[in-house]
Structure 1
Amino acid sequence: MKAYIFPGQGAQFSGMGKDLYEAYPEAQKLFEDANRILGFSITDIMFEGEAEELRQTRVTQPAIFLHSVILSKVLGEAFTPDMVAGHSLGEFSALVSNGTISFEDGLKLVSQRADAMQKACEAQPGTMAAVLGLEDEVVESVCAQTPGIVVPANYNCPGQLVISGELEAINQACDKLKEAGARRALVLPVGGAFHSPLMQPAREELAAAIEETTFSTPICPVYQNVTTTAVTDITEIKKNLIAQLTAPVKWTQSIRQMIADGATEFNEVGPGKVLQGLVRKVDSEVPSRSVEIPEKGV
């Protein structure tokens, strides 16, 4: 069974999507549609922008979404998913790829999500930190015992967990985690405390937008970050998508469940190669690769 996986924030790079735009009329049309929907030329920033511009949340999230979704669309009949999953933001790409939401609605939701998250970051500053070399249970215990808001945010692979929360709480937790034997506990250069209770205002804003969006029955199950299980029910998909903003991304658990349910290969659709590396760390026996842009083009 073929699993297709979609990356999240952090996979962006200058020049992303330009080869798609130049090779495929369908891709060019979708990129131009995106400029119209967003109200600014995201293609200019994606194709020619500096790294600093691409790091802005309002740009990063739509840019990665566009690269992933447009790549899946130009694959045409070669895109044959039996199951899909996306890491954080990538869950929206996955839901467009399996027919749950339209390209236009997906882009609008991603843009609204990015704006809502940015506002939440500005309202209550926070940060995230990567923790390497500890069991998940140890990290969870340290977070629970640290004063303030600090929670597990991304279960990326065995021995790699990202925590999220208030600035002081994160710093204290990092000190405790190093004492507990962490190989590294490093504060990340991010704009806020994603996947933590500090994102509650963004969750409420996104919930309203999701409830107004048309969702259709998907062509294959999505393994959502919140539940880690195969989901096809529209009501449950919406609920999980809303919960995702303040809940952890259970990527390790999702990959394990997909393998248990029959995944025999993982195909990463979008910029970068982060997810296939995480898959290998979860289970090195299951093949994982990047989806390349088809040679056929203009």
Structure 2
Amino acid sequence: MSLGGGGGGLSGPDSRVETISRLAQWRIDTFGPCSYRRSDPFKLGIWNWYLSVEKSRSICVRLFPEPGRVAKEQPPLARFVLRVSWAGPPRRSSVSPVVEHLLRSSEDFVWQVDVMSHGRFTIDATESSSLIWPSEGMVLNIASKSTLGCLSRMLAESIHADVTITITDGVLKAHKAILAACSPVFESMFVHDLKEKESSTININDMCLESCSALLGFIYGTIKQEQFWKHRLSLLAAANKYAITDIKNCCEESLLEDINSSNVLERLHVAWLYQLEKLKKGCLTYLFVFGKIYDVRDEMHSFFHHADRELMLEMFQEVLSVWKPI
């Protein structure tokens, strides 16, 4: 496998580099009148590379990544071994020690080859680590997609479903092991001698069929973004009830993203109800630091009529913290 592409006037008819697995091989028939040669780009790992050769009293071989194609914030470590072989006769070769670099935008691997010969020669560059290869991420990505596909089928087709969830307007099938793995409350139902264990039935009378389907979709990894947005308040209530931390955190982060004057009081009540400190702080900041309390003054009477006294105290303290006398 190799990549085509020009190397400008520095490339020649034999500037192509062949690659297979972790080995890149460049065969050069002759330098000709030039003292410097550069290869076409080739791919090794997840980046494009170049090889160059400069001839003087000895041979200097450089291997360098294509600028702009290497991770800059956390550049991985790459290790290369170089072997230069002359066709002969007599056939000779020079093998370098391992050269190791932390890859950055244009870090060069440099080898000085003391053996000098005329005619055709071959450069083998072998990568000896696994850190520039996408295999781990690729495997994890494929495994994750495969798992989600299996879970999706299990839920959609009720494959070996062993628990029935009854809702106010319907029935859903699920799996005890999956519910127990995500929620200590569900796990307790199936471990202890409770009615859910005996009947293999869970009654959820505070959710509709659609919002409970969204809950199962989140648990099984099949929920769609629009489904989450539509049911996130119901999901938050269920996550609090069944102690599903991931759903609770996700809902809080989402509710923080679109606070406005039409929903800030409702969000503040929700934050207080479910002990969501980040959401509560966000709502108080929106109201008092950004001065949006004036936009909701008509709704404040009803809010204070139903709000918890401790929440009202926190709101008053927030007013005092931002108020500065003239």
Q: Which has the higher helix share?
A: 1
Which of the pair has more CA radius of gyration?
A: 2
Q: TM-score, normalised by structure 1?
A: 0.20
Quick check: which one's strand share is greater?
A: 2
- Structure with more contact order per residue of length (Cα contacts < 8 Å, sep ≥ 6): 1
Give TM-score scaled by structure 2 length. Answer: 0.19
